[in-house]
Structure 1
Amino acid sequence: MTRLFHVSDLHFGRQDQAAIDWFAATVHDERPAAVICTGDLTQRARSAEFEAAARYLESLPVPVTVEPGNHDLPYFNPYERFVRPYRRYGRLERMIERPLDVANVVIVPLKTTARFQWRHNWSWGVVGRRSLARTLALLESADDDHVKLVACHHPLVDRDGGHSSGKTIRGREALEALAAAGAHAVLSGHVHTPFDLEVPVAGGDTIRKIGAGTLSERVREAPPSFNEIRVGEGGALDVVHRWMESPGA
């Protein structure tokens, strides 16, 4: 069995230090095959926040891949946001949108952030056509016997009965294309609440939509948490939501 830890929305600058320490200790103790972080490393994309995130992620003793989140684009500096939005990532850059191939699993990135949108809320997601084409090419080049996971920040479609995904532009189109290319599940963050749902796609098939919670102070429906993803023989995929404390405690 291959075990992966899926974490999201660390929000350094507003991190829950107890939760951050708990997750790091769990990674050190249990040594999953990899850590997948689906965005919002920082609260305001400040250099000091990125530096703290870099120190933290570099301390984890397993491979790490990171997706950018909307909070990771410069908030107060329009020039940097439009011209060089990723300058502050620094040494984290090597982890950003990093494809991973571990045991019987391949993890491929899908960028859903945008430095500009023709709508009022720039925190919402966008799937660019070039970004989607890159992800599809990575999926199609992966071994057919691998479980294929796609990592992005924004949920591609709304989660029934819960927070909106933020109306991700071309999200449904992307989900259908990813399923057709052989993706088994799409991992995301952004809504700060864990979920695991089957989404119908064309042809009568389904694709898993798996969301991680947050390790920040900005909790919503649940306490700080992360997902443990277990991939067994024959590609069986099991997701366990792991809480720092039991809900309602």
Structure 2
Amino acid sequence: MRLVQITDPHLHADPAARSRTGIPFAQLQAVVAAVIDERPDAVVVTGDISQDESAASYAAAARLFDTLPCPWHWLPGNHDQRELMAAEHELVDAVALGDWRMLLLDTQVPGAPHGELGEHKLAALAAQLEDDDRPTLIALHHPPVAVGADWMDAIGLKDSAAFWQALSAYPQVKAVLFGHAHQVFSGTVACAGREVDVYGCPAAADQFLPDAEHFAVDAEASPGYRVLTLDAQGASTRVERVKVAI
């Protein structure tokens, strides 16, 4: 089973609109074209689909993702409008991935850059894990770990300790994928005597400078995506970068 993660396209209604280092629509086009060549079985898009929160930006994203040769799923980031996303493509909270499954968590706090799950969503997550012991991936927008950039760590998942506590009783959770950070991240979290893999992904739009105290763009880094191969032995992964001709 081959799963690809795309994150943070930050599209505008105007496909020619520029970001800090490029044109988000052209960047996403290049990322999607490269992902198609990967022949994925499924794609997950981990939030911040839109920058301007316009209906046109979600429609443009959905048209591009519909060119993928496989099912695709998305979840909201802090910039997104859930209703506009759902109007273009269903928002789901669980996806079968062969012998695995993926749970998609909505960490958005309306009007705020940070994320939070809260007691209700954490209880729902525990109930989902209680009902199914298949190897499980969890996808969410906000990092549930510190990524090393002070300003980004201040707007990550606020209740990350409660999140990891909720996972502690469920050894079927093998890995967690996040967006928001616009940079590669790979680490592990000790969780009830086991290690859970945690992965961040390059953005489809601008990249952020790793280990920065204050907000900074990494103008030298290219857009990218993450590929995960899921099998009976576990999950292996790699990151690919995409050159965009503009």
TM-score (norm 1): 0.81
Of Structure 1 and Structure 2, the greater helix share is in: 1
Q: Specify which of 30, 41, 52 is matched with residue 33 of structure 1.
A: 41
Contact 2:11 2:57 in 1 (8 A): yes
Residue in 2 that maps onto 1:150: 138
Distance of aligned partners of 1:126 and 1:72 in 2 relative to their CA distance in 1, 3 Å threshold: same
Residue in 1 that maps onto 2:164: 175
Q: Cα offset for 1:219?
A: 1.7
Q: Cα offset for 1:20?
A: 1.7
Q: Specify which of 62, 84, 90 is matched with residue 88 of structure 1.
A: 84
Q: Counterparts of 1:165 and 1:106 in 2: how far apart (Å)?
A: 30
| Range with bigger deviation, 59-68 or 190-199 | 59-68
* Gaps in structure 2 of 5+ consecutive residues: 13-18, 210-220
| Range with bigger deviation, 18-27 or 222-231 | 18-27
Contact 2:78 2:113 in 1 (8 A): yes
Contact 1:34 1:63 in 2 (8 A): yes
Aligned length: 221
SS at match of 1:184: strand
Q: Specify which of 14, 18, 24 is matched with residue 16 of structure 1.
A: 24
Contact 1:108 1:150 in 2 (8 A): yes
* Gaps in structure 1 of 5+ consecutive residues: 74-85, 117-121
Q: Cα offset for 1:4?
A: 0.7
Instruction: Indicate whether 1:105 and 2:113 are aligned.
Output: no
Q: Specify which of 201, 207, 210 is matched with residue 212 of structure 1.
A: 201
Contact 2:93 2:105 in 1 (8 A): no
Q: Counterparts of 2:39 and 2:4 in 1: how far apart (Å)?
A: 9
Q: Cα offset for 1:204?
A: 2.7
Instruction: Indicate whether 1:130 and 2:120 are aligned.
Output: yes
SS at match of 1:210: strand
Residue in 2 that maps onto 1:82: none
The amino acid of 2:129's aligned partner reads: L
TM-score (norm 2): 0.81
Q: Counterparts of 1:167 and 1:6 in 2: how far apart (Å)?
A: 19
Q: Counterparts of 2:30 and 2:57 in 1: how far apart (Å)?
A: 19
Q: Counterparts of 2:148 and 2:208 in 1: how far apart (Å)?
A: 16
SS at match of 1:199: strand
The amino acid of 1:9's aligned partner reads: D
Q: Counterparts of 2:83 and 2:239 in 1: how far apart (Å)?
A: 33
SS at match of 1:72: coil
Q: Cα offset for 1:18?
A: 4.1
Contact 1:152 1:188 in 2 (8 A): yes
The amino acid of 1:212's aligned partner reads: C
C-alpha deviations, 1:27-77, integer Å up to 9, x for none?
Answer: 33332111011100000211111111121222222111211000104xxxx
The amino acid of 1:239's aligned partner reads: T
Q: Cα offset for 1:165?
A: 6.0
SS at match of 2:153: coil
Instruction: Indicate whether 1:61 and 2:91 are aligned.
Output: no
Residue in 1 that maps onto 2:223: 224
Residue in 2 that maps onto 1:166: 155
Instruction: Indicate whether 1:185 and 2:184 are aligned.
Output: no
Contact 2:11 2:25 in 1 (8 A): no
Q: Cα offset for 1:178?
A: 2.0
Contact 1:66 1:98 in 2 (8 A): no
Residue in 1 that maps onto 2:216: none
The amino acid of 2:98's aligned partner reads: A
SS at match of 1:180: coil
Q: Cα offset for 1:97?
A: 3.2
The amino acid of 2:71's aligned partner reads: P
Q: Counterparts of 2:24 and 2:42 in 1: how far apart (Å)?
A: 22
